[in-house]
């Protein structure tokens, strides 16, 4: 459990600075420090066990089926890293307390820092590689926040984004690699994976896994060619650079190499990939570092170079090299963090980090200078400092290594690397502190406050101590870690400052001397370097990203060009493809169902249909004419339903048809009456082809269905139970209101919502652009002055009651004969519509002031309540009941609960239709400049002659 707490403590603790910042900066820093210290103490409490060779584990199930669990383990490697993270973290917190300005939001800084710390600790303590992945990505995210901490700096933003992108990308690569690794090993637990080295290396998936994992490691550890984000990340506040970009985060990649060393190393691929990239990075970055004028830039490339060296060491694949690597991790952390803090002090005091503006600070900042000399010497690998020892160990391994059959290749490259390392280390120390004093520094430098230099001093002391007594100070730890990394293969290694005169010593000596010479030649060398004009990786990256985003935008906008027609063509095409693909990929046998001979009238109807369709398609630009033609199709379809034994369908089709036409006419009134020719011949051809394919498909499907009998339908049950169970003989209606009443329930809801939406759409039509357009609307056709023709009005007065009776009749008989609530509702609606058409909206509506909303609401509620009542009686929703009731004089009447349901349907229909009509004519009325007519008919000879205007509100009452 302790391990989980160590990992989680910084996360939970991230709240502490956020909460304590109100109490002041000291309190905030103290709280943060306490969190880290507590974690460190917890960690150290486990150290004895670990140093004794024990592996401490904590296992908490999280996603057990995935194999992602909160499994932590602590071995020496973890202990070393965790100690480093927490220890240096503590120092960085102290340092940051003094480094941060008063205006910098400290609470946020420390909160982010703790998040990062937690993520790092999590990485090194994870026993589960998926868990490790989580922490891995969290380091990317938290470092993003830290790098971008100073939001006003564009470099900070860009640096943060670049770091996130590159390391994030690496993280995703790592996900792939680790998942494969887990697959090969059969577990995501490191403890298992580390035991499965042989199986892993024998697997055909080894190479892809390795490549993907290295993608993660190399990006995180800034290996070439992914190194370029690191220098730009240095825009972050110095404590961040010191912590993330030298001591901890960038080492995560190296850590993982070390962690997975037993499982992955030892193969040729590993050697060339890891060793090669590491070595190249080491040399390349060292060269670049020498020519950086910015202190942090120099240190950044130096860090890259050292990370390259570490990678190279683990890449060599020998236990001894691994030991050297482990040892150098510690060493590098000490001197590099110290140097970063030092650079921060210089920046803080002198106001610049530019080497060209610095120099001669030795007298002004003696403490800083001393620390810099020592740390710089350690970096240059000068005895008796720790950097020297690990470098010697590295050289020892390097001279034995051979690549591509060339035994000199590696040593020579290494030699170049350490030579440049020495040179830039010298340049840092000499360039800042020695040489001539400048006339004016941007600000007046003097030694920093204690709190600011003390942390680096502590690190330098450590560097010296390790250098002087490596076996004592670092020996047990290094050996333990090496054992953990190599799985015991490294054996006990005695760390010593002095190894006697040997080739590595000579190389070291040569490098130091050569470095000094190189520094003296810096000016001409820098000129050559500038002249080389190596491409700037950041520019390349920015361009790539911008080009990517641009291409993405272009692609997106090219594909989604706003054309409904393209969208529909794609959708229809896809549907045709799916159906045709399905049809063609399975066997089909033509059915044997006999066909019905078509009588002449059927052929005539078919001709009508074809003619009507052709007329609409060819003449669709004349919108009004198209509406006339489309009626023909509705008529033929209705006739077809009549002929093919579907009376209910015919009735419904007939009545729906006309209401639809009326709505279309109402809308068309305010819309353009013609459609211009807009699509090219090619487009029309495309559409024609698509239409033909779709038509053929539909015809084929229909034909195929009609020619086979198919399995018995469930409707046999409906037929058999319609009367006995549903109380009706019109099986279609019984299905609608009983067997599948739930469908009908949904259907009327659809109708109701449609009306509501129509209402919502039209209610606002008189406002904004639409209102403007309505106000300026001019009829595009000549109009007859007569609004309400007399004969029509008279006829509809007679037709309304007649049609109402018909509607009632159709409603009542629906359960047993063709008819039902929907048709009845439509018939009544049509009768009313006729009235409105003849006598005008204003006049008619005053005579039928219904609340259409209420009609719809009532309809749906009645239908729902029919079902609920059944539930209250203990039966399922919509369970029907019917009873033949004897009413005096009238006789036996079949009363069915489904009738109540049908009433709901009818009301909803009438409400919906009338609501739509009401608002459509409202909109048209707004376009009209005429006052609404209060007269039911324009011409009425029986009317008294005009006696002068009266207000319209005075209205004609009945």
Is residue 246 within 8 A of residue 343, CB to CB? The reply is no
Q: Is the sign of the CA dihedral 506, 509, 515, 521 positive or negative?
A: negative
- Shortest Å, Cβ 231 to another protein: 19
Does position 564 interact with another protein (CB under 8 A)? The reply is yes
Give the list of residues 6+ apart from residue 72 with CB closer than 8 angstroms, or none.
3, 4, 6, 7, 57, 58, 59, 125, 126, 127, 131
- Shortest Å, Cβ 212 to another protein: 9
Residue 500 or 672: the one with the smaller Cβ distance to another protein is 672
Cis ω before 225 (30° cut-off from 0)? yes
Give the list of residues 6+ apart from residue 219 with CB closer than 8 angstroms, or none.
166, 167, 169, 170, 171, 173, 226, 253
Does position 662 interact with another protein (CB under 8 A)? The reply is yes
**What part of residues 903-942 is at the interface with another protein (CB under 8 A)?**
912, 916-917, 919-921, 923-925, 928, 930-942
Residue closest to 875 by CA, chosen among 735, 738, 746, 747:
738
Does position 75 interact with another protein (CB under 8 A)? The reply is no
- Shortest Å, Cβ 40 to another protein: 23
Strand partners of residue 893: 885
- Shortest Å, Cβ 313 to another protein: 29
Does position 496 interact with another protein (CB under 8 A)? The reply is no
Query: Which one among 364, 367, 469, 637 touches another protein, defined by CB under 8 A?
Result: 637
- Three-state DSSP class for 781? coil
DSSP 293-321: -BHHHHHHHHHHHHHHHHHHHHHH--HHH
Stretch that binds another protein, among 194-202, 361-369, 483-491, 811-819 (CB under 8 A): 811-819
Does position 154 interact with another protein (CB under 8 A)? The reply is yes
Does position 509 interact with another protein (CB under 8 A)? The reply is no
Distances (CA, A) of 574 to 460, 561, 567, 591: 69, 18, 10, 27
Rounded CA separation 750/716 (Å): 29
Query: Which one among 1, 48, 102, 152 touches another protein, defined by CB under 8 A?
Result: 152
Does position 540 interact with another protein (CB under 8 A)? The reply is no
DSSP 63: E
- Shortest Å, Cβ 754 to another protein: 4
State both tokens at 486: 């190599």
- Shortest Å, Cβ 121 to another protein: 14
Give the list of residues 6+ apart from residue 172 with CB closer than 8 angstroms, or none.
none
Contact code string over 234-273 relative to another protein, x by CB under 8 A: ----------------------------------------
**What part of residues 189-218 is at the interface with another protein (CB under 8 A)?**
none
State both tokens at 552: 């993405």
Stretch that binds another protein, among 353-361, 430-438, 500-508, 793-801 (CB under 8 A): 793-801
The Cβ of residue 371 has, within 10 Å, a number of other Cβ atoms equal to 24
DSSP 738: I
- Shortest Å, Cβ 389 to another protein: 38
**What part of residues 685-724 is at the interface with another protein (CB under 8 A)?**
687-688, 690-692, 694-715, 717-719, 721-723
Give the list of residues 6+ apart from residue 104 with CB closer than 8 angstroms, or none.
149, 150, 237
b/e sequence 299-332, b meaning 16+ C-beta within 10 Å: bbbbbbbbbbbbbbbbbbbbbbbbbbbbbbbbbb
Query: Which one among 610, 685, 883, 885 touches another protein, defined by CB under 8 A?
Result: 610
Does position 219 interact with another protein (CB under 8 A)? The reply is no
Residue 1 or 890: the one with the smaller Cβ distance to another protein is 890
Query: Which one among 792, 869, 882, 895 touches another protein, defined by CB under 8 A?
Result: 792
Does position 481 interact with another protein (CB under 8 A)? The reply is no
Residue 509 or 598: the one with the smaller Cβ distance to another protein is 598
- Shortest Å, Cβ 893 to another protein: 8
**What part of residues 737-776 is at the interface with another protein (CB under 8 A)?**
738-765, 767-770, 773-774
Residue 476 or 647: the one with the smaller Cβ distance to another protein is 647
Does position 145 interact with another protein (CB under 8 A)? The reply is yes
Does position 104 interact with another protein (CB under 8 A)? The reply is no
Query: Which one among 639, 899, 900, 910 touches another protein, defined by CB under 8 A?
Result: 639
Rounded CA separation 777/770 (Å): 10
- Shortest Å, Cβ 605 to another protein: 8
Residue 419 or 651: the one with the smaller Cβ distance to another protein is 651
The Cβ of residue 31 has, within 10 Å, a number of other Cβ atoms equal to 22
- Counted residue by residue, the chain has a size of 958
Give the list of residues 6+ apart from residue 254 with CB closer than 8 angstroms, or none.
217, 221, 307, 310, 311, 314, 325, 329
Query: Which one among 440, 535, 783, 873 touches another protein, defined by CB under 8 A?
Result: 783
Residue closest to 778 by CA, chosen among 622, 669, 676, 674:
669
What is the CA 719 to chain-centroid distance, rounded? 52
Give the β-pairing of 882-887 and 891-896.
antiparallel
Residue 412 or 610: the one with the smaller Cβ distance to another protein is 610
- Shortest Å, Cβ 676 to another protein: 8
Query: Which one among 839, 896, 903, 906 touches another protein, defined by CB under 8 A?
Result: 839
Does position 504 interact with another protein (CB under 8 A)? The reply is no
- Shortest Å, Cβ 938 to another protein: 6
**What part of residues 846-875 is at the interface with another protein (CB under 8 A)?**
847-848, 853-854, 856-858, 860-861, 864, 867-868, 870-871, 875
What is the CA 635 to chain-centroid distance, rounded? 51
Query: Which one among 41, 503, 549, 885 touches another protein, defined by CB under 8 A?
Result: 549
Does position 884 interact with another protein (CB under 8 A)? The reply is no
The Cβ of residue 790 has, within 10 Å, a number of other Cβ atoms equal to 15
Query: Which one among 356, 499, 543, 560 touches another protein, defined by CB under 8 A?
Result: 560
Strand partners of residue 72: 58, 126
Query: Which one among 528, 675, 884, 885 touches another protein, defined by CB under 8 A?
Result: 675
**What part of residues 121-140 is at the interface with another protein (CB under 8 A)?**
130, 133-135, 137-138, 140
Query: Which one among 15, 202, 513, 956 touches another protein, defined by CB under 8 A?
Result: 956
Rounded CA separation 30/359 (Å): 35
- Three-state DSSP class for 384? coil
DSSP 751-765: HHHHHHHHHHHHHTT
Residue 502 or 556: the one with the smaller Cβ distance to another protein is 556
Residue 380 or 831: the one with the smaller Cβ distance to another protein is 831
- Shortest Å, Cβ 315 to another protein: 25
Does position 548 interact with another protein (CB under 8 A)? The reply is yes
Looking up tokens 């803090």 gives 341
- Shortest Å, Cβ 467 to another protein: 40
Does position 815 interact with another protein (CB under 8 A)? The reply is no
Does position 141 interact with another protein (CB under 8 A)? The reply is yes
Give the list of residues 6+ apart from residue 912 with CB closer than 8 angstroms, or none.
751, 752, 754, 755, 852, 856
State both tokens at 288: 């670049």
Looking up tokens 């807009």 gives 678
Q: Is the sign of the CA dihedral 749, 751, 755, 758 positive or negative?
A: positive
Strand partners of residue 58: 72
**What part of residues 585-604 is at the interface with another protein (CB under 8 A)?**
585-589, 593, 595-604
State both tokens at 803: 């049609």
Does position 634 interact with another protein (CB under 8 A)? The reply is yes
Does position 482 interact with another protein (CB under 8 A)? The reply is no
Does position 732 interact with another protein (CB under 8 A)? The reply is yes
Query: Which one among 1, 52, 532, 559 touches another protein, defined by CB under 8 A?
Result: 559
């Amino acid at each position: 459990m302790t391990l989980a707490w160590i990992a989680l403590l910084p996360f939970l603790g991230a709240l502490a600075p956020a909460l304590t910042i109100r109490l002041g900066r000291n309190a905030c820093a103290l709280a943060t420090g306490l969190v880290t210290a507590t974690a460190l103490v917890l960690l150290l409490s486990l150290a004895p066990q670990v140093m004794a060779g024990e592996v401490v584990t904590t296992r908490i199930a999280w996603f057990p089926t995935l194999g992602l669990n909160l499994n932590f383990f602590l071995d020496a490697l973890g202990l070393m890293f965790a100690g480093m993270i927490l220890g240096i973290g503590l120092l960085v917190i102290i340092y940051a307390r003094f480094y941060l300005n008063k205006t910098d939001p400290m609470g946020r800084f420390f909160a982010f820092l703790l998040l990062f710390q937690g993520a790092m600790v999590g990485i090194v303590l994870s026993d589960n590689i998926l868990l490790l992945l989580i922490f891995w990505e969290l380091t990317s995210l938290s470092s993003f926040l830290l790098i971008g901490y100073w939001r006003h700096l564009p470099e900070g933003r860009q640096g943060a984004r670049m770091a996130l992108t590159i390391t994030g990308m690496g993280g995703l690569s790592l996900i792939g690699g680790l998942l494969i690794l887990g697959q090969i090993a059969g577990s995501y637990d490191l403890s298992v994976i580390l035991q499965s080295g042989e199986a892993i290396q024998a697997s055909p998936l080894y190479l892809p896994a390795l490549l993907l994992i290295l993608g993660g490691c190399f990006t995180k550890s800034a290996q070439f060619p992914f190194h370029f984000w690191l220098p730009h990340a240095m825009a972050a506040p110095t404590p961040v650079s010191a912590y993330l970009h030298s001591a901890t985060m960038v080492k995560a990649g190296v850590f993982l190499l070390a962690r997975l060393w037993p499982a992955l190393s030892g193969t040729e691929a590993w050697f060339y990939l890891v060793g090669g990239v590491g070595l190249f990075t080491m040399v390349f970055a060292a060269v670049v570092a020498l020519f950086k004028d910015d202190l942090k830039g120099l240190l950044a490339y130096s860090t890259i170079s050292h990370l390259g060296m570490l990678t190279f060491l683990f890449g060599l694949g020998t236990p001894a090299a691994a030991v050297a690597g482990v040892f150098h991790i510690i060493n590098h952390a000490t001197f590099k963090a110290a140097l970063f803090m030092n650079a921060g002090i210089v920046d803080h005091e002198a106001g610049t980090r530019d080497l060209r503006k610095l120099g001669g600070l030795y007298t002004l900042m003696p403490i800083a200078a001393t620390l810099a000399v020592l740390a710089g010497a350690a970096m240059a690998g000068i005895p008796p400092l720790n950097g020297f020892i690990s470098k010697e160990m590295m050289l020892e391994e390097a001279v034995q290594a051979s690549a591509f059959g060339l035994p000199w290749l590696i040593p020579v490259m290494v030699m170049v690397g350490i030579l440049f390392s020495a040179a830039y280390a010298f340049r840092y120390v000499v360039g800042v502190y020695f040489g001539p004093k400048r006339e004016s520094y941007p600000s007046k430098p003097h030694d920093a406050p204690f709190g600011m230099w003390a942390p680096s001093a502590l690190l330098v002391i450590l560097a010296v101590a390790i250098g002087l007594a490596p076996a004592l100070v670092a020996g047990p730890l290094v050996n333990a870690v090496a054992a953990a990394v190599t799985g015991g293969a490294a054996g006990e290694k005695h760390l010593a400052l002095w190894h006697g005169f040997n080739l590595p010593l000579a190389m070291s000596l040569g490098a130091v001397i050569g470095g000094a010479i190189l520094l003296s030649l810096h000016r001409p060398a820098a000129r050559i370097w500038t002249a080389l004009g190596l491409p700037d990786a950041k520019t390349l990256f920015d361009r790539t990203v911008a080009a990517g985003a641009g291409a993405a935008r272009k692609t997106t906008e090219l594909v989604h060009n706003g054309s409904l027609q393209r969208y529909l063509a794609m959708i229809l095409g896809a549907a045709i493809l799916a159906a045709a693909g399905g049809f063609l990929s399975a066997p089909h046998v033509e059915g044997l169902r006999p066909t019905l001979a078509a009588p002449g009238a059927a052929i005539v109807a078919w001709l009508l249909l074809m003619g009507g369709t052709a007329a609409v398609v060819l003449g669709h630009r004349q919108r009004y004419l198209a509406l006339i033609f489309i009626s023909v199709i509705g008529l033929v379809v209705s006739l077809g339903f009549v002929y093919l034994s579907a009376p209910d369908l015919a009735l419904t089709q007939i009545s729906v048809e006309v209401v639809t036409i009326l709505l279309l006419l109402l809308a068309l009134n305010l819309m353009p009456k013609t459609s211009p020719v807009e699509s090219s011949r090619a487009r029309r051809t495309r559409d024609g082809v698509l239409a033909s394919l779709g038509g053929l498909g539909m015809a084929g499907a229909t034909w195929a269905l009609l020619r086979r009998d198919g399995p018995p339908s469930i409707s046999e049950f409906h037929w058999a139970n319609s009367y006995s169970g549903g109380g009706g003989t019109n099986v279609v209606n019984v299905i609608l209101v009983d067997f599948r009443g739930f469908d009908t329930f949904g259907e009327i809801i659809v109708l109701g919502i449609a009306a509501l939406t129509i209402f919502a759409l039209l209610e606002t039509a008189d406002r904004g652009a639409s209102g403007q357009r309505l106000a300026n609307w001019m009829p595009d056709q000549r109009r007859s002055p007569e609004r309400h023709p007399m004969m029509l009005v008279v006829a509809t007065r007679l037709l309304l009651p007649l049609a109402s009776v018909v509607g009632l009749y159709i409603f009542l008989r629906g359960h047993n004969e063709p008819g039902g609530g929907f048709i009845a509702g439509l018939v009544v609606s049509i009768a009313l519509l006729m009235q409105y058409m003849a006598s005008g909206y204003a006049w008619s509506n005053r005579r039928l002031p219904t609340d259409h909303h209420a009609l719809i609401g009532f309809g749906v509620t009645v239908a729902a309540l029919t079902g609920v009542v059944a539930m209250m009686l203990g039966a399922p929703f919509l369970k029907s009941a019917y009873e033949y009731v004897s009413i005096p004089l009238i006789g036996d009447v079949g009363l069915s609960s489904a009738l109540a349901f049908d009433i709901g349907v009818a009301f909803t229909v009438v409400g919906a239709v009338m609501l739509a009509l009401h608002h459509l004519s409202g909109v048209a009325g707004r376009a009209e400049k005429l006052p609404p007519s209060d007269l039911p008919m324009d011409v009425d000879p029986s009317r008294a002659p005009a006696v002068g205007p009266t207000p319209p509100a005075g209205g004609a009452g009945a």
